[in-house]
Amino acid sequence: MSRKPIIAGNWKMNKTVKEAHEFVEAVKDKVPAPEIVDSVIAAPFLALDRLVADAKGSDLKIAAENVHFENSGAYTGEVSPVMLEDLGVQYVVIGHSERRAMFAETDETVNKKVHASFAHHLVPIVCVGETLDEREGGRWQAVVKNQVTKAFAGVPADQATAVVVAYEPIWAIGTGKTASSEQANEVCHFIRETITALYDLATAEQVRIQYGGSVKPANIGELLAQSDIDGALVGGASLQPESFLALVDAAK
């Protein structure tokens, strides 16, 4: 089964609106055709309005880095899926390990956010992955299976096929340590098996699974050559236009 690669830059808390705008202007007409690769930038909330307008008519897609699960209400400082849909945002990163570790994101809130995203035509990019302790303690299967199972809870098969799962071993994020391609593929394959058990093989084969963790132009080719890796979620190396373009080009 051939799945279309999806390369998503995750800017985290970087770039002013002006810097974000300049980046999008520099890359938007150079990304590959959307029939070949999905090219996505996940940017801070403040820049989204501007970036959606900048990217309009191009093949670059814009993502939020988080979303709340309620449509509106007394949630000071939060941004709702209604607001993102209204702007024209197309994807949303959910459950990044930094949000799980620092902002009380749980498997339950991840699941609520997945449902809220589908209700508002946002494609969820759901992050899962184990810590170094969990890997060295031989617990990565249990951890990843639990995260995936809870993220997909109550999601019907026709929506499940649209979910993008990002496998990001926490020990490889921003550390310069990349999981070897074989290690990364082993977990991505395991994620597909987990989704097969939740649904069926036909559903699991449509789900795109990204690897994330110190991906850069020099190592993306080897990662994408693996059987179960369908793209990358990239932090540091997505901040420069040349490097982001090298990443999306490698997925062609």
Please state the closest distance from residue 86 (CB atom) to ligand PEP, in A: 26
CB 12 within 8 A of CB 42: no
Closest to 103 measured CA to CA, from 189, 175, 13, 31:
13
Is there binding between residue 212 and ligand PEP (CB under 6 A)? Answer: yes
| Window contacting ligand PEP (CB under 6 A); options: 69-77, 129-137, 188-196, 206-214 | 206-214
44 touches ligand PEP (CB under 6 A): no
Q: Which of 85, 98, 130, 168 is catalytic?
A: 168
**Minimum distance, C-beta of residue 238 to ligand PEP, in the bound complex (Å):** 7
Does 7 contact ligand PEP by CB under 6 A? Answer: no
- Round to whole Å and give the CA distance between 122 and 99: 19
The single residue among 85, 168, 228, 230 that binds ligand PEP, judged by CB under 6 A, is 168
The annotation status of 72 as a binding-site residue, yes or no, is no
Q: Which of 86, 79, 45 is nearest to 64 (CA)?
A: 45
Q: Tell whether residue 218 is a contact of ligand PEP (CB under 6 A).
A: no
**Number of other residues whose CB lies within 10 A of the CB of residue 16:** 11
* Residue ranges binding ligand PEP (CB under 6 A): 10, 12, 168, 173-174, 212-215, 233-237
Which residues form the catalytic set? 96, 168
- Please enumerate, by residue number, every residue annotated as part of a binding site for substrate: 10-12, 174, 214, 235-236
